[in-house]
Amino acid sequence: MSDTVQRPETLRIAVAQFNPTVGDVVGNLSLARAARAKAAALGADLLLLSELFISGYPPEDLVLKPAFLQACKAAVDELAADTADGGPGVIIGFPRQGDKGRHNSVAIIDGGKILGLRDKIDLPNYGEFDEKRVFVEGDMPGPVSFRGVRLGVPICEEIWNDLGVCETLAESGAEILLVPNGSPYYHGKLQVRYQVVLRQVIESGLPLVFANQVGGQDELVFDGASFCFNADKTLAFQMPQFEESIVLTTWTRDADGWSCAAGKVSDIPEGEEADYRACMLGFRDYVNKNGFKSVVLGLSGGIDSAICAAMAVDALGHERVRTIMLPYRYTSEESFKDAADCAKALGCHYDIVPISEPVEGFLSSLADMFEGTESGITEENLQSRTRGTILMAVSNKFGSMVVTTGNKSEMSVGYATLYGDMNGGFNPIKDLYKMQVYALSAWRNGHVPVGALGPAGEVIPANIISKAPSAELRPDQKDQDSLPPYPVLDDILECLVEKEMSVDEILARGHDIATVHRIEHLLYLAEYKRRQSAPGVKITKKNFGRDRRYPITNRFRDR
Protein backbone atom coordinates (compact mmCIF):
# COMPACT_ATOMS: atom_id res chain seq x y z
CA MET A 1 0.00 0.00 0.00
CA SER A 2 1.34 3.43 -0.94
CA ASP A 3 2.40 5.72 1.91
CA THR A 4 0.17 8.39 0.33
CA VAL A 5 -2.98 6.35 1.02
CA GLN A 6 -4.93 7.69 3.97
CA ARG A 7 -4.26 5.78 7.16
CA PRO A 8 -7.18 3.71 8.46
CA GLU A 9 -9.19 4.78 11.46
CA THR A 10 -10.28 1.21 12.23
CA LEU A 11 -8.46 -2.11 12.25
CA ARG A 12 -9.91 -5.58 12.86
CA ILE A 13 -7.49 -8.07 14.41
CA ALA A 14 -8.39 -11.73 14.94
CA VAL A 15 -6.53 -13.26 17.88
CA ALA A 16 -6.25 -17.05 17.72
CA GLN A 17 -5.17 -19.36 20.53
CA PHE A 18 -4.84 -22.72 18.83
CA ASN A 19 -3.15 -26.05 19.56
CA PRO A 20 -0.24 -26.76 17.21
CA THR A 21 1.77 -29.98 17.49
CA VAL A 22 5.56 -29.88 17.71
CA GLY A 23 7.13 -31.16 14.52
CA ASP A 24 3.88 -31.37 12.54
CA VAL A 25 4.76 -28.62 10.07
CA VAL A 26 2.17 -29.68 7.50
CA GLY A 27 -0.54 -30.00 10.15
CA ASN A 28 0.35 -26.67 11.75
CA LEU A 29 0.25 -24.95 8.37
CA SER A 30 -3.23 -26.41 7.83
CA LEU A 31 -4.22 -25.17 11.29
CA ALA A 32 -2.93 -21.67 10.42
CA ARG A 33 -4.88 -21.73 7.17
CA ALA A 34 -8.03 -22.79 9.02
CA ALA A 35 -7.52 -19.96 11.50
CA ARG A 36 -7.06 -17.50 8.64
CA ALA A 37 -10.26 -18.74 6.99
CA LYS A 38 -12.14 -18.17 10.25
CA ALA A 39 -10.56 -14.74 10.58
CA ALA A 40 -11.65 -13.88 7.03
CA ALA A 41 -15.20 -15.01 7.77
CA LEU A 42 -15.19 -12.70 10.79
CA GLY A 43 -14.07 -9.79 8.63
CA ALA A 44 -10.55 -9.48 10.05
CA ASP A 45 -7.76 -7.46 8.49
CA LEU A 46 -5.06 -9.32 10.42
CA LEU A 47 -4.66 -12.67 12.20
CA LEU A 48 -2.35 -12.97 15.21
CA LEU A 49 -1.00 -16.45 16.01
CA SER A 50 1.28 -17.65 18.80
CA GLU A 51 5.04 -18.06 19.14
CA LEU A 52 6.75 -20.65 16.88
CA PHE A 53 3.32 -21.71 15.62
CA ILE A 54 4.60 -23.43 12.47
CA SER A 55 7.05 -25.66 14.37
CA GLY A 56 5.01 -26.03 17.54
CA TYR A 57 6.46 -24.84 20.83
CA PRO A 58 8.93 -25.66 22.24
CA PRO A 59 10.68 -27.46 19.33
CA GLU A 60 13.87 -27.97 21.37
CA ASP A 61 16.64 -29.71 19.38
CA LEU A 62 14.45 -30.20 16.31
CA VAL A 63 15.69 -26.78 15.22
CA LEU A 64 19.21 -28.22 14.95
CA LYS A 65 18.05 -30.15 11.88
CA PRO A 66 18.45 -28.06 8.69
CA ALA A 67 15.68 -30.05 7.00
CA PHE A 68 13.26 -29.04 9.75
CA LEU A 69 14.11 -25.34 9.40
CA GLN A 70 13.71 -25.61 5.64
CA ALA A 71 10.28 -27.21 6.05
CA CYS A 72 9.19 -24.43 8.43
CA LYS A 73 10.39 -21.69 6.07
CA ALA A 74 8.61 -23.36 3.13
CA ALA A 75 5.38 -23.47 5.14
CA VAL A 76 5.61 -19.75 5.95
CA ASP A 77 6.27 -18.98 2.29
CA GLU A 78 3.14 -20.97 1.33
CA LEU A 79 1.07 -19.07 3.87
CA ALA A 80 2.48 -15.77 2.59
CA ALA A 81 1.44 -16.72 -0.94
CA ASP A 82 -2.08 -17.37 0.34
CA THR A 83 -2.39 -13.74 1.44
CA ALA A 84 -2.29 -12.59 -2.19
CA ASP A 85 -6.04 -13.25 -2.17
CA GLY A 86 -6.64 -9.94 -0.41
CA GLY A 87 -7.82 -11.56 2.80
CA PRO A 88 -6.33 -11.12 6.26
CA GLY A 89 -2.64 -10.67 6.80
CA VAL A 90 -0.98 -12.98 9.34
CA ILE A 91 1.54 -12.69 12.15
CA ILE A 92 3.03 -16.14 12.70
CA GLY A 93 6.02 -17.55 14.58
CA PHE A 94 8.55 -20.00 13.14
CA PRO A 95 12.20 -21.04 13.62
CA ARG A 96 14.44 -19.43 11.02
CA GLN A 97 17.97 -19.93 9.78
CA GLY A 98 19.57 -16.48 9.55
CA ASP A 99 23.01 -15.28 8.57
CA LYS A 100 24.24 -15.40 12.18
CA GLY A 101 22.50 -18.61 13.22
CA ARG A 102 19.07 -19.97 14.12
CA HIS A 103 16.41 -17.51 15.31
CA ASN A 104 13.09 -17.73 17.10
CA SER A 105 11.29 -15.52 14.59
CA VAL A 106 7.98 -13.97 13.65
CA ALA A 107 6.86 -13.21 10.11
CA ILE A 108 4.39 -10.44 9.33
CA ILE A 109 2.81 -11.40 5.99
CA ASP A 110 0.30 -9.70 3.72
CA GLY A 111 -0.44 -9.18 0.04
CA GLY A 112 1.34 -12.35 -1.00
CA LYS A 113 4.68 -11.57 0.65
CA ILE A 114 6.56 -11.28 3.92
CA LEU A 115 6.38 -7.63 4.99
CA GLY A 116 8.87 -8.04 7.81
CA LEU A 117 10.70 -10.47 10.08
CA ARG A 118 11.31 -10.18 13.81
CA ASP A 119 13.96 -12.23 15.60
CA LYS A 120 13.59 -12.75 19.34
CA ILE A 121 16.15 -10.84 21.39
CA ASP A 122 15.51 -12.08 24.92
CA LEU A 123 15.97 -15.85 24.89
CA PRO A 124 14.76 -17.40 28.17
CA ASN A 125 17.20 -19.75 29.83
CA TYR A 126 15.63 -20.77 33.12
CA GLY A 127 13.14 -23.33 34.42
CA GLU A 128 11.51 -25.09 31.49
CA PHE A 129 13.21 -22.82 28.95
CA ASP A 130 16.63 -23.31 27.36
CA GLU A 131 16.35 -21.27 24.17
CA LYS A 132 19.93 -19.97 24.32
CA ARG A 133 21.01 -23.53 23.66
CA VAL A 134 19.47 -23.60 20.19
CA PHE A 135 18.82 -19.98 19.14
CA VAL A 136 20.88 -16.81 18.74
CA GLU A 137 19.66 -13.37 19.74
CA GLY A 138 18.17 -11.01 17.22
CA ASP A 139 18.64 -7.23 16.89
CA MET A 140 16.60 -4.56 18.62
CA PRO A 141 13.42 -4.24 16.54
CA GLY A 142 11.49 -1.43 14.99
CA PRO A 143 7.80 -1.43 14.06
CA VAL A 144 6.41 -3.04 10.89
CA SER A 145 3.94 -1.11 8.76
CA PHE A 146 0.77 -3.07 8.14
CA ARG A 147 -1.85 -1.39 5.94
CA GLY A 148 -0.82 1.98 7.24
CA VAL A 149 -0.57 1.01 10.92
CA ARG A 150 2.83 0.66 12.63
CA LEU A 151 2.81 -2.56 14.65
CA GLY A 152 5.29 -3.51 17.33
CA VAL A 153 5.77 -7.28 17.66
CA PRO A 154 7.72 -8.21 20.79
CA ILE A 155 8.08 -11.98 21.21
CA CYS A 156 7.05 -13.52 24.54
CA GLU A 157 10.03 -13.17 26.93
CA GLU A 158 10.77 -9.67 25.63
CA ILE A 159 7.85 -8.29 27.64
CA TRP A 160 8.81 -10.18 30.82
CA ASN A 161 12.13 -8.46 31.44
CA ASP A 162 13.53 -4.96 31.37
CA LEU A 163 15.43 -4.88 28.08
CA GLY A 164 13.33 -1.94 26.91
CA VAL A 165 11.98 -3.64 23.78
CA CYS A 166 8.47 -2.22 24.19
CA GLU A 167 9.75 1.26 25.00
CA THR A 168 12.07 1.16 22.00
CA LEU A 169 9.20 0.14 19.75
CA ALA A 170 7.06 2.98 21.12
CA GLU A 171 9.87 5.50 20.65
CA SER A 172 10.37 4.35 17.05
CA GLY A 173 6.70 4.83 16.17
CA ALA A 174 4.85 1.63 17.07
CA GLU A 175 1.15 2.23 17.70
CA ILE A 176 -0.03 -1.19 18.90
CA LEU A 177 1.94 -4.01 20.55
CA LEU A 178 1.00 -7.52 19.39
CA VAL A 179 2.83 -10.21 21.35
CA PRO A 180 2.94 -13.88 20.24
CA ASN A 181 3.57 -16.10 23.28
CA GLY A 182 4.37 -19.66 24.31
CA SER A 183 3.65 -19.20 28.01
CA PRO A 184 3.12 -22.46 29.95
CA TYR A 185 0.69 -22.83 32.81
CA TYR A 186 1.45 -23.03 36.46
CA HIS A 187 -0.87 -22.38 39.39
CA GLY A 188 -1.71 -18.64 39.47
CA LYS A 189 0.13 -17.79 36.24
CA LEU A 190 -2.54 -15.53 34.71
CA GLN A 191 -2.25 -12.90 37.44
CA VAL A 192 1.51 -12.87 36.90
CA ARG A 193 0.95 -12.24 33.19
CA TYR A 194 -1.43 -9.38 33.95
CA GLN A 195 1.23 -7.69 36.07
CA VAL A 196 3.87 -8.18 33.38
CA VAL A 197 1.67 -6.74 30.64
CA LEU A 198 0.44 -3.80 32.70
CA ARG A 199 4.02 -2.81 33.44
CA GLN A 200 4.80 -2.73 29.71
CA VAL A 201 1.59 -0.84 28.93
CA ILE A 202 2.46 1.80 31.52
CA GLU A 203 6.08 2.13 30.37
CA SER A 204 5.32 2.21 26.64
CA GLY A 205 1.99 4.04 26.72
CA LEU A 206 0.65 1.57 24.13
CA PRO A 207 -2.11 -1.06 24.12
CA LEU A 208 -0.82 -4.63 24.21
CA VAL A 209 -2.32 -7.94 23.04
CA PHE A 210 -1.01 -11.09 24.73
CA ALA A 211 -1.71 -14.05 22.37
CA ASN A 212 -0.89 -17.42 23.88
CA GLN A 213 -0.73 -20.99 22.65
CA VAL A 214 -3.10 -23.63 24.05
CA GLY A 215 -2.53 -27.37 24.48
CA GLY A 216 -0.20 -29.92 26.01
CA GLN A 217 3.38 -30.58 24.92
CA ASP A 218 5.09 -33.31 26.92
CA GLU A 219 5.18 -31.97 30.51
CA LEU A 220 4.06 -28.45 29.61
CA VAL A 221 0.49 -27.22 29.32
CA PHE A 222 -0.19 -24.00 27.45
CA ASP A 223 -3.41 -22.57 28.79
CA GLY A 224 -4.30 -19.92 26.22
CA ALA A 225 -6.14 -17.25 28.24
CA SER A 226 -5.09 -14.57 25.72
CA PHE A 227 -6.04 -11.00 26.57
CA CYS A 228 -5.49 -7.30 25.87
CA PHE A 229 -4.93 -4.22 27.98
CA ASN A 230 -5.55 -0.83 26.43
CA ALA A 231 -3.21 2.08 27.03
CA ASP A 232 -5.52 3.30 29.81
CA LYS A 233 -4.90 -0.05 31.62
CA THR A 234 -8.44 -1.35 31.07
CA LEU A 235 -8.89 -5.02 30.17
CA ALA A 236 -10.33 -5.02 26.65
CA PHE A 237 -10.98 -8.76 26.33
CA GLN A 238 -10.09 -12.04 27.99
CA MET A 239 -10.16 -15.30 26.05
CA PRO A 240 -10.98 -18.62 27.77
CA GLN A 241 -8.40 -20.79 29.47
CA PHE A 242 -7.53 -24.32 28.31
CA GLU A 243 -9.69 -23.99 25.17
CA GLU A 244 -8.96 -23.29 21.52
CA SER A 245 -10.60 -20.04 20.53
CA ILE A 246 -10.53 -17.19 18.04
CA VAL A 247 -11.89 -13.73 18.71
CA LEU A 248 -12.30 -10.69 16.47
CA THR A 249 -11.17 -7.44 18.04
CA THR A 250 -12.08 -4.02 16.66
CA TRP A 251 -9.59 -1.17 16.99
CA THR A 252 -10.24 2.53 16.46
CA ARG A 253 -7.85 5.41 16.26
CA ASP A 254 -8.37 8.89 17.71
CA ALA A 255 -6.12 11.72 18.81
CA ASP A 256 -4.82 9.63 21.71
CA GLY A 257 -3.93 6.64 19.55
CA TRP A 258 -5.38 3.19 19.02
CA SER A 259 -7.70 1.40 21.41
CA CYS A 260 -9.42 -1.97 21.38
CA ALA A 261 -13.20 -2.00 21.78
CA ALA A 262 -14.48 -3.81 24.84
CA GLY A 263 -15.05 -7.48 24.11
CA LYS A 264 -16.00 -10.59 26.01
CA VAL A 265 -14.19 -11.23 29.27
CA SER A 266 -14.32 -14.99 29.79
CA ASP A 267 -14.48 -16.48 33.26
CA ILE A 268 -11.11 -17.88 34.26
CA PRO A 269 -11.06 -20.97 36.48
CA GLU A 270 -9.25 -20.73 39.78
CA GLY A 271 -7.76 -23.09 42.34
CA GLU A 272 -8.60 -26.77 41.99
CA GLU A 273 -10.58 -26.28 38.79
CA ALA A 274 -7.64 -24.70 36.96
CA ASP A 275 -5.19 -27.36 38.14
CA TYR A 276 -7.58 -30.21 37.28
CA ARG A 277 -8.23 -28.84 33.80
CA ALA A 278 -4.50 -28.39 33.22
CA CYS A 279 -3.89 -32.03 34.18
CA MET A 280 -6.76 -33.16 31.94
CA LEU A 281 -5.59 -31.16 28.92
CA GLY A 282 -1.95 -32.17 29.30
CA PHE A 283 -2.93 -35.82 29.64
CA ARG A 284 -5.32 -35.74 26.66
CA ASP A 285 -2.81 -34.13 24.33
CA TYR A 286 0.03 -36.42 25.38
CA VAL A 287 -2.05 -39.51 24.63
CA ASN A 288 -3.61 -38.21 21.41
CA LYS A 289 -0.58 -36.46 19.93
CA ASN A 290 1.54 -39.58 20.49
CA GLY A 291 -1.04 -41.79 18.82
CA PHE A 292 -2.23 -43.99 21.70
CA LYS A 293 -5.71 -45.39 21.20
CA SER A 294 -6.29 -46.20 24.86
CA VAL A 295 -4.71 -46.26 28.33
CA VAL A 296 -4.47 -48.79 31.14
CA LEU A 297 -3.77 -48.28 34.84
CA GLY A 298 -3.76 -50.24 38.05
CA LEU A 299 -6.79 -49.29 40.15
CA SER A 300 -5.86 -50.11 43.74
CA GLY A 301 -8.72 -48.54 45.66
CA GLY A 302 -6.43 -45.69 46.71
CA ILE A 303 -6.76 -41.98 46.08
CA ASP A 304 -3.94 -41.58 43.55
CA SER A 305 -5.08 -44.27 41.11
CA ALA A 306 -8.69 -43.13 41.54
CA ILE A 307 -8.02 -39.54 40.51
CA CYS A 308 -5.83 -40.71 37.63
CA ALA A 309 -8.68 -42.92 36.42
CA ALA A 310 -11.05 -39.96 36.66
CA MET A 311 -8.67 -37.73 34.72
CA ALA A 312 -8.23 -40.45 32.10
CA VAL A 313 -11.97 -40.83 31.57
CA ASP A 314 -12.47 -37.04 31.56
CA ALA A 315 -9.67 -36.61 29.01
CA LEU A 316 -10.34 -39.57 26.72
CA GLY A 317 -13.78 -41.02 27.44
CA HIS A 318 -14.62 -44.20 29.35
CA GLU A 319 -14.30 -46.45 26.29
CA ARG A 320 -10.58 -45.67 26.00
CA VAL A 321 -9.72 -46.43 29.64
CA ARG A 322 -8.99 -49.89 31.06
CA THR A 323 -8.48 -50.29 34.82
CA ILE A 324 -7.11 -53.39 36.52
CA MET A 325 -7.24 -54.38 40.18
CA LEU A 326 -4.11 -56.43 40.98
CA PRO A 327 -4.76 -57.91 44.43
CA TYR A 328 -2.41 -59.81 46.73
CA ARG A 329 -2.90 -61.25 50.21
CA TYR A 330 -2.67 -57.80 51.84
CA THR A 331 -5.33 -56.21 49.63
CA SER A 332 -8.28 -55.40 51.87
CA GLU A 333 -11.93 -56.03 51.11
CA GLU A 334 -12.37 -52.29 51.49
CA SER A 335 -9.94 -51.69 48.63
CA PHE A 336 -11.71 -54.27 46.45
CA LYS A 337 -15.00 -52.47 46.96
CA ASP A 338 -13.57 -48.97 46.52
CA ALA A 339 -11.81 -49.87 43.25
CA ALA A 340 -14.92 -51.56 41.84
CA ASP A 341 -17.13 -48.63 42.89
CA CYS A 342 -14.75 -46.15 41.28
CA ALA A 343 -14.63 -48.03 37.97
CA LYS A 344 -18.41 -48.37 37.97
CA ALA A 345 -18.93 -44.66 38.67
CA LEU A 346 -16.58 -43.76 35.81
CA GLY A 347 -18.06 -46.36 33.46
CA CYS A 348 -14.64 -47.65 32.41
CA HIS A 349 -13.49 -51.23 31.77
CA TYR A 350 -12.49 -53.05 34.97
CA ASP A 351 -10.59 -56.32 35.38
CA ILE A 352 -9.27 -58.22 38.38
CA VAL A 353 -5.92 -59.97 37.88
CA PRO A 354 -4.62 -61.62 41.10
CA ILE A 355 -0.84 -61.53 41.49
CA SER A 356 -0.39 -64.27 44.11
CA GLU A 357 1.01 -66.88 41.74
CA PRO A 358 3.68 -64.72 40.09
CA VAL A 359 4.74 -63.16 43.40
CA GLU A 360 5.04 -66.56 45.05
CA GLY A 361 6.93 -67.75 41.99
CA PHE A 362 9.49 -64.97 42.39
CA LEU A 363 9.82 -65.70 46.10
CA SER A 364 10.28 -69.40 45.38
CA SER A 365 12.96 -68.71 42.79
CA LEU A 366 14.82 -66.47 45.27
CA ALA A 367 14.28 -68.66 48.34
CA ASP A 368 17.75 -70.20 48.38
CA MET A 369 19.49 -66.89 47.81
CA PHE A 370 17.37 -65.10 50.45
CA GLU A 371 17.59 -67.89 53.03
CA GLY A 372 18.45 -66.58 56.49
CA THR A 373 17.46 -62.97 55.69
CA GLU A 374 14.60 -60.93 57.13
CA SER A 375 11.51 -60.37 54.97
CA GLY A 376 11.01 -56.64 54.29
CA ILE A 377 11.12 -53.99 51.57
CA THR A 378 12.56 -56.37 48.98
CA GLU A 379 9.55 -58.66 49.25
CA GLU A 380 7.18 -55.70 49.30
CA ASN A 381 8.72 -54.33 46.12
CA LEU A 382 8.26 -57.69 44.40
CA GLN A 383 4.53 -57.09 44.66
CA SER A 384 4.83 -53.68 43.05
CA ARG A 385 7.16 -54.95 40.32
CA THR A 386 4.83 -57.85 39.56
CA ARG A 387 1.98 -55.38 39.11
CA GLY A 388 4.18 -53.24 36.87
CA THR A 389 5.11 -56.25 34.73
CA ILE A 390 1.47 -57.25 34.28
CA LEU A 391 0.44 -53.72 33.31
CA MET A 392 3.27 -53.54 30.78
CA ALA A 393 2.19 -56.91 29.36
CA VAL A 394 -1.34 -55.58 28.87
CA SER A 395 0.16 -52.48 27.26
CA ASN A 396 2.23 -54.56 24.84
CA LYS A 397 -0.66 -56.87 23.98
CA PHE A 398 -3.35 -54.23 23.38
CA GLY A 399 -1.30 -51.11 22.58
CA SER A 400 -2.59 -49.19 25.59
CA MET A 401 -0.30 -46.69 27.28
CA VAL A 402 0.28 -47.42 30.97
CA VAL A 403 -0.64 -44.52 33.24
CA THR A 404 1.58 -44.22 36.30
CA THR A 405 -0.02 -42.72 39.37
CA GLY A 406 2.56 -41.49 41.90
CA ASN A 407 2.02 -38.02 43.36
CA LYS A 408 4.71 -35.39 43.96
CA SER A 409 4.96 -36.13 47.68
CA GLU A 410 5.83 -39.76 46.96
CA MET A 411 8.15 -38.90 44.09
CA SER A 412 9.93 -36.37 46.31
CA VAL A 413 10.86 -38.83 49.06
CA GLY A 414 11.30 -41.95 46.93
CA TYR A 415 8.17 -43.77 48.07
CA ALA A 416 7.81 -45.34 44.65
CA THR A 417 9.24 -48.54 43.17
CA LEU A 418 11.39 -48.53 40.06
CA TYR A 419 10.03 -50.98 37.47
CA GLY A 420 6.93 -51.34 39.64
CA ASP A 421 4.42 -48.59 40.32
CA MET A 422 6.72 -46.19 38.43
CA ASN A 423 6.12 -48.13 35.19
CA GLY A 424 4.21 -46.08 32.67
CA GLY A 425 4.25 -43.63 29.81
CA PHE A 426 2.72 -40.59 31.51
CA ASN A 427 1.67 -39.41 34.97
CA PRO A 428 -1.10 -36.78 35.13
CA ILE A 429 -0.56 -36.10 38.89
CA LYS A 430 3.25 -36.12 38.95
CA ASP A 431 3.38 -32.45 39.99
CA LEU A 432 0.56 -32.59 42.55
CA TYR A 433 1.38 -32.99 46.24
CA LYS A 434 -0.73 -35.46 48.20
CA MET A 435 -2.93 -32.80 49.78
CA GLN A 436 -3.54 -31.31 46.33
CA VAL A 437 -4.64 -34.76 45.16
CA TYR A 438 -7.20 -34.86 47.97
CA ALA A 439 -8.40 -31.32 47.16
CA LEU A 440 -8.77 -32.03 43.43
CA SER A 441 -10.58 -35.31 44.13
CA ALA A 442 -13.13 -33.58 46.35
CA TRP A 443 -13.54 -30.81 43.76
CA ARG A 444 -14.09 -33.30 40.92
CA ASN A 445 -16.85 -35.07 42.85
CA GLY A 446 -18.79 -31.80 42.89
CA HIS A 447 -18.02 -30.55 39.39
CA VAL A 448 -17.65 -31.67 35.79
CA PRO A 449 -14.77 -29.76 34.17
CA VAL A 450 -15.40 -27.89 30.93
CA GLY A 451 -14.58 -30.23 28.07
CA ALA A 452 -14.59 -33.37 30.24
CA LEU A 453 -15.92 -36.61 28.76
CA GLY A 454 -16.57 -38.23 32.14
CA PRO A 455 -19.84 -38.37 34.09
CA ALA A 456 -21.20 -36.03 36.74
CA GLY A 457 -21.54 -37.00 40.37
CA GLU A 458 -19.29 -38.81 42.81
CA VAL A 459 -16.72 -40.44 40.54
CA ILE A 460 -14.20 -40.96 43.37
CA PRO A 461 -15.96 -42.85 46.19
CA ALA A 462 -16.06 -40.87 49.42
CA ASN A 463 -14.41 -43.73 51.30
CA ILE A 464 -11.32 -43.45 49.10
CA ILE A 465 -10.96 -39.81 50.11
CA SER A 466 -11.62 -40.36 53.81
CA LYS A 467 -9.60 -43.49 54.56
CA ALA A 468 -5.94 -43.46 55.63
CA PRO A 469 -3.67 -43.98 52.61
CA SER A 470 -1.78 -47.27 52.37
CA ALA A 471 0.31 -49.14 49.81
CA GLU A 472 -1.05 -52.41 51.28
CA LEU A 473 2.26 -54.24 50.86
CA ARG A 474 2.20 -55.68 54.39
CA PRO A 475 -0.44 -56.22 57.10
CA ASP A 476 -2.09 -53.05 58.47
CA GLN A 477 0.38 -50.81 56.62
CA LYS A 478 -0.26 -47.04 56.58
CA ASP A 479 1.77 -44.34 54.80
CA GLN A 480 2.16 -42.42 58.05
CA ASP A 481 3.92 -45.40 59.67
CA SER A 482 7.10 -44.09 58.04
CA LEU A 483 6.22 -40.57 56.92
CA PRO A 484 5.01 -37.49 58.77
CA PRO A 485 1.36 -36.53 58.21
CA TYR A 486 0.90 -35.36 54.64
CA PRO A 487 0.10 -31.73 55.55
CA VAL A 488 3.46 -31.59 57.37
CA LEU A 489 5.32 -33.48 54.65
CA ASP A 490 3.91 -31.35 51.85
CA ASP A 491 4.76 -28.09 53.59
CA ILE A 492 8.37 -29.19 54.14
CA LEU A 493 8.65 -30.38 50.55
CA GLU A 494 7.22 -27.17 49.14
CA CYS A 495 9.78 -25.24 51.18
CA LEU A 496 12.63 -27.41 49.91
CA VAL A 497 11.57 -27.83 46.29
CA GLU A 498 9.57 -24.77 45.20
CA LYS A 499 11.10 -22.18 47.52
CA GLU A 500 14.65 -23.55 47.97
CA MET A 501 14.46 -22.56 51.65
CA SER A 502 17.21 -23.33 54.13
CA VAL A 503 16.69 -25.74 57.02
CA ASP A 504 16.72 -22.80 59.44
CA GLU A 505 13.95 -21.07 57.49
CA ILE A 506 11.86 -24.25 57.51
CA LEU A 507 12.40 -24.75 61.24
CA ALA A 508 11.13 -21.20 61.78
CA ARG A 509 7.78 -22.41 60.42
CA GLY A 510 7.50 -24.74 63.42
CA HIS A 511 8.77 -28.01 61.97
CA ASP A 512 10.80 -30.58 63.90
CA ILE A 513 14.52 -30.55 63.05
CA ALA A 514 14.86 -34.34 62.83
CA THR A 515 11.89 -34.54 60.49
CA VAL A 516 13.21 -31.76 58.24
CA HIS A 517 16.65 -33.36 58.02
CA ARG A 518 15.13 -36.74 57.19
CA ILE A 519 12.88 -35.35 54.47
CA GLU A 520 15.78 -33.38 52.97
CA HIS A 521 17.89 -36.54 52.94
CA LEU A 522 15.13 -38.58 51.29
CA LEU A 523 14.58 -35.83 48.71
CA TYR A 524 18.20 -35.89 47.59
CA LEU A 525 18.44 -39.68 47.80
CA ALA A 526 15.50 -40.22 45.43
CA GLU A 527 16.96 -38.17 42.59
CA TYR A 528 18.04 -41.29 40.69
CA LYS A 529 14.47 -42.57 40.73
CA ARG A 530 13.01 -39.32 39.45
CA ARG A 531 15.44 -39.36 36.52
CA GLN A 532 13.80 -42.62 35.42
CA SER A 533 10.21 -41.57 35.99
CA ALA A 534 7.57 -40.98 33.34
CA PRO A 535 6.83 -37.39 32.26
CA GLY A 536 3.87 -35.65 33.86
CA VAL A 537 1.92 -32.40 33.73
CA LYS A 538 3.62 -29.31 35.18
CA ILE A 539 1.33 -27.60 37.71
CA THR A 540 3.68 -25.89 40.18
CA LYS A 541 6.35 -23.29 39.49
CA LYS A 542 9.04 -25.95 39.90
CA ASN A 543 8.30 -29.45 38.67
CA PHE A 544 10.69 -32.39 38.70
CA GLY A 545 12.36 -32.64 35.32
CA ARG A 546 12.39 -29.42 33.34
CA ASP A 547 12.47 -27.01 36.26
CA ARG A 548 14.53 -28.76 38.93
CA ARG A 549 17.79 -30.29 37.73
CA TYR A 550 19.70 -31.60 40.71
CA PRO A 551 22.68 -33.97 40.44
CA ILE A 552 22.15 -37.62 41.28
CA THR A 553 25.53 -37.83 42.97
CA ASN A 554 25.18 -35.21 45.68
CA ARG A 555 26.52 -35.17 49.23
CA PHE A 556 25.32 -31.70 50.21
CA ARG A 557 23.08 -31.50 53.24
CA ASP A 558 22.00 -28.23 54.86
CA ARG A 559 23.42 -28.11 58.44
> Is 389 labeled as ligand-binding?
no
**Helix or strand run (H / E) with residue 222:** strand 220-223
- Active-site pick, 72, 73, 131, 156: 156
> Is 183 labeled as ligand-binding?
yes
> Is 298 labeled as ligand-binding?
yes
> Is 529 labeled as ligand-binding?
yes
- Active-site pick, 51, 158, 494, 520: 51
> Is 182 labeled as ligand-binding?
no
Contact 184, 220 (CB under 8 A): yes
- Active-site pick, 73, 120, 430, 434: 120
> Is 405 labeled as ligand-binding?
yes
First-to-last alpha carbon distance for the chain, in angstroms, is 69
**46 DSSP assignment:** E
**Dihedral (CA of 187, 188, 189, 192) sign:** negative
374 given a catalytic annotation:
no
Closest CA to 407 of 242, 543, 515: 543
120 given a catalytic annotation:
yes
> Is 304 labeled as ligand-binding?
yes
> Is 332 labeled as ligand-binding?
no
> Is 252 labeled as ligand-binding?
no
> Is 466 labeled as ligand-binding?
no
Q: Are strands 401-402 and 220-223 parallel, antiparallel or unpaired?
A: unpaired
Q: Are strands 245-254 and 257-260 parallel, antiparallel or unpaired?
A: antiparallel
> Is 302 labeled as ligand-binding?
yes
C-alpha 303 chain-centroid distance: 22
Contact 336, 301 (CB under 8 A): yes
Distance CA 31, CA 302 (A): 41
Q: Which amino acid is at 129?
A: F
Helix axes 303-316, 333-346, angle to 10 degrees: 10
> Is 189 labeled as ligand-binding?
yes
Cβ-count burial 298-332 (b if 16+ within 10 Å, e if not):
bbbbbbbbbbbbbbbbbbbbbebbbbbbbbbebbe
What residue numbers does the annotated binding site for deamido-NAD(+) cover? 381, 410, 529
**Residues making up the binding site:** 126, 183, 189, 298-305, 381, 405, 410, 529
Active site residues: 51, 120, 156
- Extract the annotated binding site for L-glutamine: 126, 183, 189
Q: Binding site for ATP: which residues?
A: 298-305, 405
